[in-house]
Structure 1
Amino acid sequence: MPNFPASPELSPPRRIAVFRALQLGDMLCSVPALRALRRAWPDAHVTLIGLPWATRFVERFPSLIDELVVFPGARGFPEQEESDAGLPRFFAAMRDRRFDLAIQMHGSGGPANDIVRQFGAAAYAGFRQPHEARDDGFIAWPEDLPEPHRYLALMRALGIDAKDDALWFPLTPHDRCEYAALETRHGIEPERLIVLHPGAQLPSRRWPAARFAQVADALSANGWQIAITGTSNEAAITAAVLGEMAAPALHLTGSTTLGGLAALVARARLVVCNDTGISHVAAAMRTPSTVIASGSDTRRWAPLDRARHRVLADYPPCRPCAFRDCPYGHTCALNVSVDRVVEAALDQLAHRARAHPAGENVLHARSPHRAKEPGHAT
């Protein structure tokens, strides 16, 4: 065990490094642990070792993280270019910081532990795989726990009281202003809004665009307003959905920042998506979701609240999937039918307070208040 149990009798760590060089959904799953860490040691300077995009995460969570140091990448870490070229300079810079505690929150151990041990910290904590030697501060990887609970278990191993597993995504005044402008421009009606987000970073995690389109048409036919969202990099995916749809929809691809998207999700009646980052945003905003989980380990990544969030999945022998592109015909995705998704979504909507569908395929039920007239898609 590190020499820093969360006890008032001992000096707390002053400089803490947290290694987690992962994407949005992964980072949101670590928020409960980071919150417990900050509550235990409020005066510590916490440095996140992460990916370049995580600048936005640190800006979003200044109460949890003090700064970002960009991890330069390494062989075996596919989130970036897999090269060890930047490691010598990076390790020297980390040793110069003289961390009191370095926490490996990147994964199950192995190469991630090798990286963290080069930081030259006074103490370490993290996870170890079965073949790794037992070491103070490193606990066995809790294979059966959901992702947020794994890192809470690590906090408890540090002597920290860590029970609160709620995800959290704070909205700023700018986020709310962005949403207000979006509502005015596109005629968003939050009392009947469904956010449909068909993208995912890995093709193996994506349900077919044509099926998302059929779901959107069915929900629109039941009087719900459909908004298609995605990043600008997902424009081809969202365009494919819109191209397959017969019903009208709001086309919001590339129209929001991350905070603006979260504010939109917070106002929506339902999110329909793949098992990806926006699923965790919906969980953080307490907005119900229908999640089509293709390939992923649902035991690890599914939202914790199974009443608010419906996870639809098929389990062929090849699951959980380790491939970027499925080599087996993508049966885990294709075996989740459109009817199954529509049924789950409508059931969730039936239990929502203040949810008010309109007539069949109505894009704007209110009087138009936008700069241009409603069209097939906007």
Structure 2
Amino acid sequence: MTSSWLHQHDSNSVVIFRALQLGDMLCAVPALRALRAAMPRARISLVGLPWADQFANRFRRYIDEFIAFPGHEAFPEQAARLDQLHDFYAGMRARRFDLALQMHGNGQYSNAVVRAFGARAMAGFGAVAGGEDECLIRFPETGAEPLRLLELTTGLGAPACGPQLEFPITEADERELEASGVTRALAPGSYVCIHPGARSADKCWPAARFAAVADQLAIGPGLTTVLTGSPAEAPLTAAVGRLMRRAPVDAAGPLSIGAMAALMSHARLLICNDTGVSHIAAGLGLRSVVIFSKADIRRWAPLDQQLHRCLWDPFGEQAQTVIDQARALLMLR
């Protein structure tokens, strides 16, 4: 392999496989940015979980097309729709992609998925290449997720375009937020967002701890607390609100991810569990305190440790530390 492997292959059509959730996809944005810089005229398609159609639309600078993945028995992110797999793979092979890129883990199961796309060449993470038109790079066992993915793109010859995350806010996001009425009494910079939910309940810091932190922060600078979450998390935000001495604005409900991000973009601070919104905050440049309880903090913590304060607290014992870190971030200029 040479440092210009990408340029040795005529890749007018590229398909990327990364069928993961929001935070994982946002961590891939620096690698997608590097690929677009390396292949500015290529048509780049993304194969991902069905929800990621909205991710592809938001990052149209880097992705031209989205293709929904029916699932795989080895991947826990979605139930595999086995009745759709035959037609899915047949359709992928009929496309005759020039290049397929595997960006879904270490390749143990995902390389077989990507080989079945039938592209002329394949690259990605893995240990043993299957032929001369394959370039596999060993999956890094350490480092932050965006940096691991950049090792793949730079190893293939893409230029270094920086590790920073992005989350572009659209006019449609702002219109949806305004129409919701959530911000009617909220001036930009006058509130702190608290996001108490996570995809997995065992990653959630206790509701009482979030309530105690919110009450303490409201005492000093007089900030309003805004609770965010999906419709499924509305019972959790309601529980946090009931435990607070000062009533919050409860914004959990039918806001899209984009409108919720627009709400966060006008906040002073975000406090959350280790979940996808922490990566939204990193993309927005929004100060945050992120509480970890399960995941590898070295892999999933945002890169800017000055702007984003991360701590390990699986038993809900560090409320005062969260308050101290939040106050320190609020004082930053």
| TM-score where L is the length of structure 1 | 0.83
4+ residue runs over 6 A deviation: none
Question: How do 1:206-221 residues align onto structure 2 when only pairs under 5 Å count?
Answer: 206-221=204-219
Q: Does 1:133 align with 2:124?
A: no
The match for 2:315 is: 334
Q: Distance in 2 between matches of 1:2 and 1:238?
A: 52
Cα distance in 2 for partners of 1:336, 1:100 equals 53
Aligned to 1:31: 29
Matched-pair contact (CA < 8 Å) for 2:70–2:80: no
Q: CA RMSD in A?
A: 1.9
Equivalent positions of 1:73-222 (< 5 A) are: 73-82=71-80, 84-128=82-126, 132-134=127-129, 136-181=134-179, 186-222=184-220
Question: 8 Å contact 2:47–2:68 — kept in the other structure?
Answer: yes
> Residue 306 of structure 1: CA displacement?
0.3
Alignment of 1:350 with 2:309, yes or no, is no
Query: Deviation of residue 181 (structure 1)?
Result: 4.7
Deviation at 1:184, TM superposition (A): 7.3
Aligned residue-pair number: 329
Contact 2:74 2:109 in 1 (8 A): yes
Give the Cα separation in 2 of the matches to 1:285 and 1:4: 32
- Residues 68-91 of structure 1: CA distance to partner in whole angstroms, max 9, x if unpaired? 111001111111114544322211
Name the amino acid aligned to 2:142: D
For structure 1, which segment, 171-180 or 109-118, has the greater mean C-alpha deviation from structure 2 after superposition? 171-180
Secondary structure, counterpart of 2:167 in structure 1: coil
1:148-297 → structure 2 map (5 Å cutoff): 148-181=146-179, 186-222=184-220, 223-297=222-296
1:4 touches 1:13 (CA, 8 Å); kept in 2? no
Amino acid at match of 1:298: I
Cα pair 1:196 1:273 within 8 Å, conserved: yes
> Aligned letter for 1:32?
P
Structure 2: segments with no counterpart, 5+ residues: none
CA shift for structure 1 position 180: 4.2
Q: Which amino acid aligns with 1:264?
A: L
Letter in 2 for 1:66: D
Shift of the alpha carbon at 1:288? 0.3
Change (3 A) 1:16 1:245: same
Asked whether 1:5 is paired with 2:5, we answer yes
CA displacement at 1:256 relative to structure 2: 2.3
State the 1:3 CA deviation.
Answer: 11
SS, match of residue 12 in structure 1: coil
Query: 1:11 deviation in Å?
Result: 5.6
**1:112 CA displacement:** 0.8
1:366 is matched with: none
User: Structure 1's 94 and 4: CA in aligned 2 closer, same or farther, altered over 3 A?
Assistant: farther
**Could you tell which deviates more after superposition, 224-233 or 169-178?**
169-178
Indicate if the aligned counterparts of 2:3 and 2:157 stay in contact, CA closer than 8 A.
no
Give the corresponding residue for 1:301. Answer: 300
How far apart in 2 are the matches of 1:123 and 1:42?
18
> Which of 1 and 2 has greater Rg?
1
What amino acid maps onto 1:344 in structure 2?
A: Q
Cα deviation, 1:80-122, whole Å, max 9, x if unaligned, reads 1145443222111111111111111111110111111111111
- Percent identity between matched residues is 45
